[in-house]
Amino acid sequence: MKKKFLAVILCLVLAVGFFAVPAGASNYDSAAEQLKEMNLFRGSDIGFELDRPATRVEAAIMLVRLFGAEDGAVMDFEQGNISHPFNDVPTWADYAIAWLYSNGLTKGVSDTQYGKGDCTAQMYCTFILRALGYTEEAGDFTYDQAIEKATQLGIYNSDFISEAFIRDDLVALSYQALATSIKGENTSLVKSLVEGGAVDSEAAADFIKKSDMYRQYVAATAAFAAMDTVAMKMTSIMEYYSETTPSLNSVETTFSEVRIVAGDDGSSDCYIFSDTDGEISEEWLLDGILYVDDNTGKYCVYAGDMSSEELISLTVESSATSCDPLFMIDSIVKNPNGSYTFRYDSSLDAFMSNYLEQQGIQESAGTKMKISFPVIETTVSFDYNGNLDTNVTYMEMVLTLTVDGETHVVNYTYSITTDVTGYGDNVFIEVPNLDEFIPYSLPTV
């Protein structure tokens, strides 16, 4: 029973990494530190304050910096060359609001009020798009489409940005935007800022090296990311080791096969075969219904709006074939054989700590739980035609669980190898006799 609980915890960890961003908590401290090194984010006299909402004024200052205009704006404001009509702007932000207002990049909530309210994700995406050279006047996007446009450019990802939109999220989007190309150019925003003298080249050197490699990787995997019909085989090995609780020590191996087939209407059907140490199950997601054939029988359940990608992540953890945001990655290298290896930073530690705390799991009723990830590393390789071929992800996790004063420490090593076995018309799903599946409903209490 304990081992099953620990397996559920690990699945929760992987699911949280993709679907739950705790609101009002900071996850991207490392990204904030790197932005500070480039003098693009400074925080306040009490620190970065990443866990509070970002204000409109703070967002405006970040925009001026992303335009590389801060020094010039300060000078122009002091010399009286620029101004603004608002009476609610703090003196330390006058130069930024004046520069944006004079260049037609921002408006107030009224003729005399800029607005001290919080910044939203939509508002900040609009700011970032303008810094990258996209404008509403040119028809590049509308204010209502700002998040959609930022998503298309790989800047915004709802899986990693909280709905509350706090300063932590402002940092994450700014960090991702720096690695994004200026409109119509192949030059990233950070390189443009360095070339314009707004950011010191030495201070930006490490970020540029990492972001250049990241851009190469994104380009190399773009075809796979756009693929809507694909087949994969996965082998995952999960090992538990505990000095405090030796009875938990074990190794679990799972073999899986996944097929996703896109329909003409934009929907996707999905098939998953799974063999975990001899326990075999098959699952089909067809027209919003999940059909399951396992050792308990054949049953079906309404899957609602769950996508095939979500089903895969919840059922076989994650194949890690998509590219996570740069602000979660510590390092990327290109190996001699053309594969890429990237290692994640401490963001997932923060994700889990904040999530457990919000769920009341981290410390409650004499129970304390802590989860950390010393290593999360992924290597992606390609075939001779440049198509994505194999993905190998390795994770180390340490779970410390204290119950009524008794502490248990469990070390996990988890590896999953994903082989892409087919694309396009070569992929199909054999549908069983669906009449044999019995509708499943949760018991009522």
CATH no. for residue 427? 2.50.20
The Cα–Cα gap between 116 and 99 comes to 18
3-state secondary structure of 271: strand
Q: What is the pTM of this model?
A: 0.81
Q: Is residue 27 part of a domain?
A: no
What is the reported pLDDT for 2?
41
DSSP strand pairing (230-241 vs 250-262):
antiparallel
Q: Which residues contact 246 (CB under 8 A, 6 or more apart)?
A: none
Residue-wise pLDDT for 295-337, tens only, equals 889 999 887 655 544 544 444 333 444 567 898 899 999 999 9
Amino acid of residue 358: Q
Q: 272-297: string of b/e by CB count within 10 Å (b at 16+)?
A: bbbeeeeeebbbbbbeeebbbbeeee
Low-confidence ranges of the chain (pLDDT < 70): 1-26, 264-266, 304-323, 351-366, 441-445
Q: Is residue 185 part of a domain?
A: yes
Class of residue 421 by CB neighbours under 10 A (exposed 0-12, middle 13-18, buried 19+): middle
Domain boundary residue among 167, 199, 231? 199
Same domain, 366 and 231: yes
Structural domain of 380: 2-14+222-439
Same domain, 171 and 311: no
Same domain, 113 and 186: yes
Domain boundary residue among 199, 231, 259? 199
CA 252-346-52 angle, 5° bins: 130
Same domain, 183 and 234: no
What is the reported pLDDT for 357?
64
Per-residue tokens: 407:
């502490």
Q: Is residue 28 part of a domain?
A: no
User: For the chain, what is the radius of gyration of the CA atoms?
Assistant: 25
What is the reported pLDDT for 25?
58
Same domain, 278 and 398: yes
Same domain, 160 and 309: no
Short-list 378, 377, 383, CA closest to 338: 383
Same domain, 180 and 235: no
Report whether 25 contacts 358 (CB < 8 A).
yes
Q: Is residue 379 part of a domain?
A: yes
Same domain, 187 and 241: no
A 10 A CB-CB count for 332 gives 20
Q: Is residue 389 part of a domain?
A: yes
Amino acid of residue 70: E
The Cα–Cα gap between 210 and 112 comes to 44
3-state secondary structure of 388: strand
Q: Is residue 51 part of a domain?
A: yes
How many domains would you assign to the chain?
2
The Cα–Cα gap between 173 and 21 comes to 14
What is the reported pLDDT for 12?
44
The Cα–Cα gap between 58 and 92 comes to 10
Same domain, 165 and 252: no
Residue-wise pLDDT for 238-267, tens only, equals 898 888 778 778 888 989 999 988 876 667
Report whether 229 contacts 263 (CB < 8 A).
no
What is the reported pLDDT for 74?
93
Phi and psi based region of residue 306 (left: phi greater than 0; alpha: psi -120 to 50; beta: remaining):
beta
Q: Is residue 25 part of a domain?
A: no
Q: Is residue 281 part of a domain?
A: yes
Same domain, 184 and 251: no
Same domain, 58 and 187: yes
How far apart are the two ends of the chain, measured CA to CA in Å?
A: 23
Same domain, 186 and 79: yes
